[in-house]
């Protein structure tokens, strides 16, 4: 009987991310096509977007491998490296973006979910943020979709309980807008995303 493939997580920074850009771009497109992001992505845009994590100071990508195969990834960088519209909700609520480390996204192939890899993504990114000894909080944001949306799966289970177990609290007053094209759209539309935060 063959041994199960070993799952490993590696925190990559700077140019160490570059060899994996095309695989990470394909993974983002694959995972984000599903609810709730229902994102119609393209590889060229994704690779350009991911280049941020090669170039941004203090950024990192935690990559999950099954053997040598990339099966998941989670990104992080200082909130100050994000565009102004992502920082603005914090400033509007009297919070200094310089105090926060931002978690961009976490993507994992369906067949590898439920094995603790998502927990590992959070632990690795929090450890990376703490290594600088200057950040007070970590944060991520999640898209808000109406319950009656026609593409919402009947069996969809929100990740709120999972995030809560990781120590994150939903902050309804912290919201930002992002635009992308849904699978059932012909052009980009604006979406509302709500932040979740945790004190380091």
- 1 versus 119: which is more confidently predicted? 119
Q: What are phi and psi of 121, to 5 degrees?
A: -60, -45
pLDDT of residue 4: 63
List the one residue out of 168, 194, 189 whose CA is nearest residue 40. 189
How large is the average pLDDT for residues 175-195?
93
- CB neighbour list of residue 71: distance below 8 Å, 6 or more residues apart: 7, 27, 64, 65, 108, 109, 112, 117
Indicate the pLDDT class of residue 21, thresholds 50, 70 and 90: very high
The structural domains of the chain, with segments of one domain joined by +, span 7-146+160-199
Cβ–Cβ under 8 Å, residues 84 and 59: no
Measure the CA angle with vertex 79, ends 74 and 85; round to 5°.
Answer: 110
Helix (H, G, I), strand (E, B) or coil at 9: strand
Q: What percent of the chain has pLDDT over 90?
A: 82
CATH of 7-146+160-199, one of 3.10.20.740, 3.30.465.10, 3.40.630.30, 3.30.450.20: 3.40.630.30
pLDDT in tens, 70-123: 999 999 999 999 999 999 999 999 999 999 999 999 999 999 999 999 999 999
DSSP code of residue 53: H
The answer on pLDDT for 3 being more than 60 is no
Measure the CA angle with vertex 190, ends 53 and 75; round to 5°.
Answer: 20
**pTM for the full model?**
0.93
């Amino acid at each position: 009987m063959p041994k199960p493939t070993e799952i490993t997580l590696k925190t990559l920074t700077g140019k160490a991310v570059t060899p994996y850009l095309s695989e990470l771009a394909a993974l983002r497109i694959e995972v984000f096509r599903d609810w709730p992001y229902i994102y119609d992505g393209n590889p060229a845009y994704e690779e350009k977007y991911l280049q941020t994590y090669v170039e941004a100071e203090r950024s990192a990508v935690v990559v999950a491998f099954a053997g040598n195969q990339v099966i998941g990834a989670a990104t992080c960088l200082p909130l100050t490296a994000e565009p102004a519209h992502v920082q603005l909700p914090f400033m509007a609520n009297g919070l200094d973006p310089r105090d926060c480390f931002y978690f961009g996204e976490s993507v994992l192939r369906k067949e590898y979910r439920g094995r603790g890899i998502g927990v590992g993504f959070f632990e690795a990114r929090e450890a990376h943020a703490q290594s600088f000894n200057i950040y007070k909080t970590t944060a991520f944001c999640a898209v808000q979709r109406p319950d009656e949306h026609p593409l919402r799966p009947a069996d969809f289970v929100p990740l709120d309980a999972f995030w809560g177990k990781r120590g994150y609290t939903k902050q309804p007053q912290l919201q930002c807008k992002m635009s992308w094209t849904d699978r059932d759209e012909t052009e980009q539309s604006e979406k509302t995303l709500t932040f979740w935060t945790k004190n380091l």
